[in-house]
Amino acid sequence: MKNQEEKSFPEIMLAIISHAKLSRRAFGMSIGHTSGTMIDNVINGRNGISAGLARKITNRYPEISYEWILTGKGTMLVKPKETPIDSLLLKRVELLEQLIKGQEARLSIMELRLDKNKNLIIPII
């Protein structure tokens, strides 16, 4: 008897396709299949999900749990591992965003000064 938390291969495949927000055929193509036949066979219960197919899915969608695809146990999504490069890039993005805010504030001040000085300019005729 199947545990209530476990999912069948068709349920797993449909959940993955839903997560990817693609049609069956587009999903199949996203993992390297030229047609949606293999995907349809899993959904229709003719085939299961092989380790190779699971690997293709997780290579394209690394946030999906390889173990969940093969067993249906646990949760579909895994917490992504943050690499040192990711941390460095995030810090740089935050710094650049702060610099942009500073520059935008400076531009606003300059525009106010320019508007104020427009009234002081006397046209020469």
pLDDT at 3: 47
pLDDT at 41: 94
pLDDT at 81: 67
pLDDT at 71: 94
Helix residue ranges, H only, the chain: 9-20, 24-30, 37-43, 51-60, 66-71, 84-118
For the chain, how far is it from start to end, CA to CA, in angstroms?
Answer: 96
CB atoms within 10 A of CB 9: 19
Mean pLDDT by runs of 10 across the 125 residues of the chain is 70 96 93 87 94 95 95 89 76 94 94 83 69
pLDDT at 118: 78
pLDDT at 116: 83
